[in-house]
Amino acid sequence: MRNLTQAKKACSYSQTRLPSGLTVLVRPMPGYSTVHAEYATRFGSVYDRFELEGKPVALPAGVAHFLEHKMFESEEGDAFSLYAKTGANANAYTSFDKTCYLFTSSGEKAEASLDILLNMVGKPYFTEATIAKEQGIIGQEIKMYEDSPDWRLLVGLCGCLYHTHPVKNDIAGSVESIAQITPEMLYACTSAFYSPGNMVLAVAGDITEAQVLEACRRAGLTQPAPLPDARAIWPKEPLTVAKSRLEFEMAVAKPCFGIGFKEAPAPLDDPRREILCDLLSEVICGDMTPLYRRLYDEGLVNPEFGCEYLCLPGCCCLLFTGESEDPDRVRQLLMAEIDRLRREGVEEELFTLCKHQMYGRFLQDLENVDDACGAMMGSALKGRALADELEALAALTKADLDQALADMLAAERSAMVVVRPAKEGEE
């Protein structure tokens, strides 16, 4: 692999912790014409139980996603109308473990767009009337998710793997759950999780660190701010699966399937587990592997077949998904390949190729303004730096991967979901 010192230099960026507690990451990228910024909080859909100032708070499913929508509103109006004046392309998303507000703009308008972003997220505004209006809008969004086979497959698979962990719930919640949301509930969430000390601002592109820090000063983020007495509460989750199989029908042309493996959770500030999960997926079913070639040559899967992993507070799993006319045959071959690799060990050449591929992809992403910004933000939210991830990947050996195969991907901790085409006249 490329010299590690040179590689770490290639992924360098500044990191500043302001008196307010906000972590600010800046990667100036001379020669680029755009700026991408992400302002994120450690608050996603799995944060459904917490204590605030010693008092327990229980949330219905979908609150983090609902709050994401509401943060664009203020007494002065909608933030999108302000972004329209700067020409910025703004958006936001909620995942299992975070909520992120972002924009991409030209370098000339980046400071004005930063002012909008920092003031929007820093000044929550909720009323009964605006919440009622949003409940109708998000209710329609939830119905669209319910019509998505890929999303239904993911939700179903997490529901099979987990008994009590909130990863089993839909990120957007349900029409019934979001109907329970109140202004008081949203203000409790912003008090607990939207304080600067729980957030990260990452910026990359045609901008300097001085410009970003000055925007933070204008937003009042360079002043000390108290950290709220807030603590997330995680349920006890056994390593057994809640259900080994689930099948249902939808309007799909070909059966969709998911095969999930439940693993013991690991500390998030240590990137080693995530890198192991990523590398495991590559050596098992990456496009250079014997399994992938056999499945593809026999017409059992299309090029979309692959694996993703979730490493969250109290949760870790690997999910193999795709389309196939014979999902059970794919599962049989997948299990057989895992057993073979466990017996024989990973081939040295394949291990090296996959590791180099991950290494190259890591560095390549840092040449893209959006990807570099997202990588910095995601790493910082987990209490680590990109250099930590690069070092962990460089240190990984074939013996580490063989040991991971011995410890992980157990058949008794697996579950399968199949979405079959609906019969004529049915949905």
**313-366 per-position pLDDT tens digit:** 999 999 999 999 999 999 999 999 999 999 999 999 999 999 999 999 998 989
Mean pLDDT of 21-38: 96
Q: Would you state the pLDDT for residue 145?
A: 85
Could you tell me which residues are beta bridge partners of residue 247? Answer: 418
Measured distance CA(295)–CA(330) in Å, rounded: 7
Measured distance CA(306)–CA(58) in Å, rounded: 36
Domain ranges of the chain: 14-232, 245-421
Could you tell me which residue, 6 or 129, shows the higher pLDDT? Answer: 129
Measured distance CA(202)–CA(372) in Å, rounded: 9
The answer to whether the beta carbons of residues 165 and 6 sit under 8 Å apart is: no
Mean pLDDT of the chain: 93
DSSP 228: P
CA distances from 407 to 236, 272, 333 (A): 21, 14, 20
Q: Would you state the pLDDT for residue 239?
A: 96
The answer to whether the beta carbons of residues 64 and 43 sit under 8 Å apart is: yes
Instruction: Please identify which residue in the block is written with the tokens 């073979």.
Output: 340
Q: Would you state the pLDDT for residue 426?
A: 53
Predicted confidence (pLDDT) at residue 398 exceeds the cutoff of 80: yes
Q: Would you state the pLDDT for residue 105?
A: 96
Predicted confidence (pLDDT) at residue 183 exceeds the cutoff of 80: yes
Q: Would you state the pLDDT for residue 9?
A: 72
What pTM was estimated for this model as a whole? 0.93
Q: Would you state the pLDDT for residue 425?
A: 56
The answer to whether the beta carbons of residues 294 and 285 sit under 8 Å apart is: no
- On the 0-12 / 13-18 / 19+ scale of CB atoms within 10 A, 239 is exposed
H runs (alpha helix) in 166-238: 175-178, 183-193, 209-218
The candidate with the shortest Cα–Cα distance to 227, out of 201, 197, 187, is 197
The candidate with the shortest Cα–Cα distance to 271, out of 399, 394, 384, 401, is 384
Measured distance CA(44)–CA(63) in Å, rounded: 9
Q: Would you state the pLDDT for residue 238?
A: 96
Query: Taking the alpha carbons of 89, 92, 95, 99 in that order, is the dihedral positive or negative?
Result: positive
CA distances from 79 to 85, 106, 123, 209, 248 (A): 10, 18, 12, 24, 41
Measured distance CA(46)–CA(314) in Å, rounded: 10
Measured distance CA(119)–CA(218) in Å, rounded: 9
Do 245-421 and 14-232 have the same topology in CATH?
Answer: yes
Specify the CATH number of the domain 245-421: 3.30.830.10
Hey, what CATH class is 14-232 in?
A: alpha beta
Q: Would you state the pLDDT for residue 297?
A: 92
The answer to whether the beta carbons of residues 358 and 276 sit under 8 Å apart is: no
DSSP 100: E
C-alpha radius of gyration, the chain, whole number: 23
Two tokens, residue 74:
């203020």
Residue 396 has φ and ψ, to the nearest 5°, of -70, 135
Measured distance CA(192)–CA(195) in Å, rounded: 7
Measured distance CA(46)–CA(69) in Å, rounded: 17
Mean pLDDT of 204-212: 97
